[in-house]
Structure formats: C-alpha cells, structure tokens
Amino acid sequence: MGLFSFFWNLSVRLSLVSCIFLAILPNLPDDLFPSFPFDPVSYEIPATDSFFNKIKWNSLISDKSDTLIESQVVGPESIISKSSYIYTGLGDGRIVAIHKENLKVKTLVNLNDPGAGGCGDNVIINTTTCGRPLGLRFGLDGKIYFVDAVKGLFSFDLETNQLNHLSLGSKSSADYKGFYNDLVFDPKNEDIVYISVTSSRWTMDSIIWSLLEMRADGFILSVNLKNGQVNKILTGHRFYNGLEISPDKSSLLISVTGEFKILKVDLSDIEKSLETGQSVSSVQILINDLPGMPDNIRVFGNDLYIGLPLLRRNSTIIDNLSTLPKIRKIIGRLSNLIDRFLTLLHEKVYPHPKLREMSVSFRNGHILHQAIPSSSGVLIIDANTGKPKRILGSSTHPSISEALLDTSNGDLYLGSYRNNYLLKIKAKDLK
C-alpha cells in the first residue's frame, strides 16, 4: 500500500507540474525563443459535410493508380511533360527527367551547395543548402524555368545543360525574401512571370510552423525577366501556393492553402497595378470552402486540377485547433524545447545520428506529420466558373499535391511533396 501511495502521489505531482508548465509556456517572453518566432492566430475552417453531399467521395487513386519509380525519387512535386519525358523537381534538390516508357531516371540539375553536409540523392534534410526546385514550367524559348524554395528564380537549357540564376530585381533581396513556391508566365507577355511566396517568416524546411501559425505573411510577385523589375502585386492572404492562368488567358488563378480557396485576379488589374506600383485591390473567389488545403493547381482544357494533400473527409487535429492559437503555441514551443535538449545531448553528451535526426524533426515540425490526414486527392473543377466536377480520392497515398494530365494520351500523373514515388492512372481508368 505504501508503494502504491508513493507512485500515486508522484504521478499527481508530476501531472500538476506539467499542467503549470504548459499553462506558463505560451506566455513566456519571446526573447527566450529567439530562433523560433512562432505566434499563431485564430482562424475559421470550413466544414466538409456540405461539399461531400454534392461530390461523391471515391478511392479511384487507391484502386486504379500504378506506383512508379518507387525509392528512386523523393518529393516529386511540380511535374511537366514534353515528348517522351516527365520532368519533376525533387526534395533532395534535383530536377530529373523520367522516360515515360522505360521509366529510367536521369538527373538534369542538382542544386546542392558545394560541400554542403548531409545532402544526397533521395534525402530531404536541408533545403537551404541542398535546394528544392519547384514550379517547373516551359518557357517559349524551350527552357525550363523554376524557383528554388530559398534561392529564387532559375532557368535551365535542355540543349546546352546550362543553369542560370535569374535576379529578382535591384532592391534589397530582403524585400522579396521568403519561401518561393510556384510560378507561371503571363500569357500576353512572356517577359513577365508571376511567383508565389508562401511565407516571409518561415523557410520550406519549417513550413509546417507557417501552416500552424496561419499568418498572412506571404505575397505574389511579378518579375519582368527583360528589365529586372519586381513588384509585389498581392498580399494579405494566408499561405499562397500554386499559380495558374485561366483557360481564356484573362486571369491569374491562385491557390490559397490557409484559406481553403482559389482566388481569381484579372490580368488587366495586375497590369494597372504594375503601372501604379500599388498592389491589386480587386480579387475574386473562384471557389472556396474546399474539402482540404489546396496545393498546386494546373489547367487542362477548361478544367482546373487542384491537388489536395491535406484532404479532410472528417475533422482533423488541425481543424480542432484552428480557434485555439495558445494550444498551437504550446505545441510549437514544446517542440522547440525538445529540439534544443536533443541538440545539446547530441553535441555535448552522445553524438549519434539518430539524436540529430530527432532534433531536426522537432525543430522543423516534421514530427507533426503523424497528425496529418492520410486521405488526399485531386479535385477537378470548371476553371471558368469554379463549379466542382469530380474528385479523385485516395485513402492509401497521402500528400498528393499535384496532377499532370498527359494531353498526348490522357494518362494522369500524380506528384507529392514528400512521397518517394510517382503515381500514374491510365486514361482508360479515368473514364
């Protein structure tokens, strides 16, 4: 009985101390967390019930897709196609070409910094030094244009294998610094490219903290490749992501992950904003209250394909914490403290790779991926009206962030920011 009383009293005291500590944690001075400026805000999240009453859920991706090049790639996000090849950027800093028939993978670009530690094929460790190509597009000159998540805008010549780093204007780089995410060319002026900057506070490595923070700290850039002029054309929304041009070439479509919507901005309004130097003031909503957080968007014909890596068939932990910023702050600061403890242990006591791996996982918030829904998919809507047409769902392949329709044969390729494979659905299975 004495032993039982001891452990009972110990557990009560530990529980009480833990509760006091967690209550104090979000109110501690920011100075105690100098490298972790995590400050979440409250936001509303749309319900999913009404959406799935209109569009029937299915598991077509799980049932009909083929898994390609498994373990030969990591995070194959941003996919383009030309002739016999698929081109995609990878989480390890490479751009690769994949032959559609024999599926051979060839490295075209490697953005790893010389001498950067830990970088390597099929390893995601540090996008700042190892690189992260996103937003691949073909220009009229036949070159591949893309953004690196940290370093900005690049072009790559498939004929000469020449890689060029393109300047983002003459102003201080801090004016445009952030997590560069996607790009699209202006349909009427190929010298102008639009770039989404998801966050000015968080790098891609730590982007999950931006997703939990939900602050409107990103922007959309207009970059003139000919004269180097750069303008911020849109601010004020949470987590800008994929970009696309409408089928009639009149509007810029913008995926806003943190607001569960796709925005529509008239290119004529953007042109006026560039003349005045002011941000665009008129923004339309193409579709809102999406059943998941939208990622990359691509137009094929009159349809807009929306990647939904965080598809919510039911409420998730993110839903439940949306109006509880202090709880999210506790989670963030607790992760930061655990990271600092593990780093100290690794550097001063027991230098083991697993300790370093665990500390990075807590530092970047990747440990929280376990709370992300396993369901993902692609929503197809009318790109002109925003009317939902069809959803392609999966409960077995998480984190599907983009779709590429091969217009030569109707096959559909599905990419992801973290999976180690591509998915393909044959045209006959999409009917």
Structural tokens at position 77:
């996000």
pLDDT confidence band for 160 (50 / 70 / 90): very high
Strand partners, 96: 88, 107
Provide CB contacts within 8 A for 123, sequence distance 6+.
Answer: 74, 92, 130
Q: At what angle do helices 353-363 and 325-344 cross, to 10 degrees?
A: 160
pLDDT confidence band for 320 (50 / 70 / 90): confident
All domains of the chain in start order, with CATH: 26-429 (2.120.10.30)
Question: How confident is the prediction for the chain on average, in pLDDT?
Answer: 91
With 80 as the cut, is the pLDDT of residue 309 above it?
yes
Helix (H) or strand (E) holding 402: strand 400-405
Average pLDDT over residues 208-237: 93
Q: Is 53 or 91 the better-scoring residue by pLDDT?
A: 91
Structural tokens at position 401:
């962030």
With 60 as the cut, is the pLDDT of residue 248 above it?
yes
The alpha carbon of residue 396 and the mean position of all alpha carbons in its chain are separated, in whole angstroms, by: 20
